């Protein structure tokens, strides 16, 4: 073949066929080494989504591949945008299972979206850690989910993570983040000059974020900051193994003197406490209004999703529950997934 014919041929070679070839090689290689290695890709995604995962991995492989070196092409990128219908889920994130009631409300109100829940089991609990440790944990684990799922929106369904990491997350990623912070504003609105208790982790209670919320929205109220870290552990570790009567007794004991402090309203400033809402209500007594932020967070999520258009390309997928950390994963996480109607997908790799 003449040199001119060779160059003419090369210049008209469709880019996609080069990409397709590269993709096939990588796809086959990955299939051989085993897509089943990632259990979650099988359970929670349609085939096309699994392929998308493979191809986004293939982008990494291609970066090192001689194909790229020789041809100077960015096949990985082209493949991702040209061949794959991307489904962008909404990710809910918490240190553990506390964010599930938030996801539950979102699933009741929002249709046509795929939801992924991630419990940061690897770094649990957040509430007793230093801010820098929490920030590192959130950036690592939520960062993994963001790279893996490319979400349309993220709900940081954890007060402690939100007060510590929201600003950093917004700086780093061009994704809408919906934070979950103690519902001081709505609680104070109904008792402008009353006594208000904020029940939360030590870290949330000590944070300036909460101080600002109180200064801005509950100026006229007397605010009692009440840490309840033991209840976080009760919910995360022993929710299924503790009887209703035991839960009631533990909650009552942990509330201690707060029960006699004549508070008008108690803000559930830790997402885990929502799973003990009934016990908290009954221990505090009928006169105390129990307030949480689910309603406001869900409304905000709906606003964000309306701005972003529909998530139709996710149609038919199952909402999934992942955890971080190492195997073996404790059985209770599968039970939590079942309780909230989610597919248990194991460890997020
Ligand atoms: N669920 C988290 C919150 O809303 C905290 C639990 C933990 O300490 O990890 O603050």
CATH number, domain with residue 210: 3.40.50.1860
Mean pLDDT throughout 289-298?
97
CB 54 within 8 A of CB 35: yes
Residues 269 and 123 in one domain: no
Note the pLDDT tens digit of each residue in 44-97. Answer: 653 445 444 444 444 433 333 333 233 223 333 434 333 455 789 999 999 999
Question: Which residue range is the domain that position 162 belongs to?
Answer: 87-180+295-347
Asked if pLDDT for residue 345 goes beyond 70, the answer is yes
Ligand 1 pocket test, pick from 93, 98, 213 with the greatest ligand atom count within 8 Å of Cβ, gives: 98
Note the pLDDT tens digit of each residue in 123-148. Answer: 999 999 999 999 999 999 999 999 99
Residue 159 banded pLDDT, cuts 50, 70, 90 = very high
Domain count within the chain: 3
Closest C-alpha to ligand 1, atom 8:
127
Note the pLDDT tens digit of each residue in 172-228. Answer: 999 999 999 999 999 999 887 889 999 999 999 999 999 999 999 999 999 999 999
Catalytic one of 221, 270, 314, 320: 270
Residues in contact with 210: Cβ distance below 8 Å, sequence separation at least 6, in sequence order: 163, 181, 182, 184, 198, 200, 204, 225, 269
> In this predicted structure, what is the pLDDT of residue 64?
35
Residues 158 and 301 in one domain: yes
Residues 152 and 12 in one domain: no
Residues in contact with 78: Cβ distance below 8 Å, sequence separation at least 6, in sequence order: 15, 16, 19
Query: Whole-model pTM?
Result: 0.79
Residues 288 and 301 in one domain: no
Residues 195 and 153 in one domain: no
Residues 300 and 173 in one domain: yes
Residue spans of alpha helices (H) in the chain = 3-12, 15-33, 39-44, 47-64, 66-71, 75-82, 100-109, 131-149, 159-172, 184-190, 202-206, 208-217, 229-238, 244-255, 277-284, 294-308, 331-339
Residues 69 and 96 in one domain: no
Residues 176 and 301 in one domain: yes
Residues 194 and 275 in one domain: yes
Matching residue, tokens 């590192």: 136
């Amino acid at each position: 073949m003449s040199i001119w014919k060779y160059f003419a041929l090369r210049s008209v070679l469709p880019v996609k066929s080069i990409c397709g070839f590269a993709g096939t090689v990588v796809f086959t290689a990955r299939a051989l080494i085993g897509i089943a290695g990632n259990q979650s890709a099988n359970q929670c995604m349609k085939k096309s989504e699994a392929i998308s995962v493979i191809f986004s991995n293939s982008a990494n492989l291609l970066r090192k591949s001689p194909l790229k070196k020789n041809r100077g092409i960015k096949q990985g990128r082209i493949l991702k945008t040209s061949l794959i219908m991307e489904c962008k889920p909404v990710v809910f994130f918490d240190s553990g299972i506390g964010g599930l009631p938030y996801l539950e409300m979102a699933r009741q109100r929002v249709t046509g979206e795929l939801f992924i829940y991630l419990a940061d089991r690897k770094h649990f609990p957040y509430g007793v850690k230093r801010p820098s440790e929490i920030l590192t944990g959130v950036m690592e684990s939520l960062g993994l989910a963001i790279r893996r799922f490319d979400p349309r929106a993220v709900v940081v369904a954890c007060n402690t993570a939100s007060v510590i990491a929201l600003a950093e997350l917004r700086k780093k990623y061009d994704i809408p983040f919906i934070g979950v912070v103690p519902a001081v504003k709505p609680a104070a609105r109904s008792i402008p000059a009353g006594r208000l208790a904020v029940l939360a982790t030590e870290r949330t209670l000590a944070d300036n974020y909460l101080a600002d919320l109180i200064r801005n929205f509950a100026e006229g109220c007397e605010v009692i900051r009440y840490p309840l870290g033991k209840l976080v552990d009760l919910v995360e570790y022993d929710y299924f193994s503790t009887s209703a009567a035991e839960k009631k007794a533990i909650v009552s004991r942990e509330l201690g003197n707060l029960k006699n402090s004549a508070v008008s309203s108690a803000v559930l400033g830790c997402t885990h406490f929502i799973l003990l809402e009934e016990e908290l209500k009954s221990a505090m007594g009928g006169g105390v209004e129990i307030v949480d932020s689910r309603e406001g967070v869900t409304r905000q999520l709906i606003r964000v999703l309306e701005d972003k258009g529909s998530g139709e390309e996710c149609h038919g997928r199952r909402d999934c529950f992942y955890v971080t950390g190492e195997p073996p994963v404790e059985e209770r996480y599968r039970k939590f997934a079942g309780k909230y109607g989610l597919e248990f997908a194991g460890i997020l790799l």
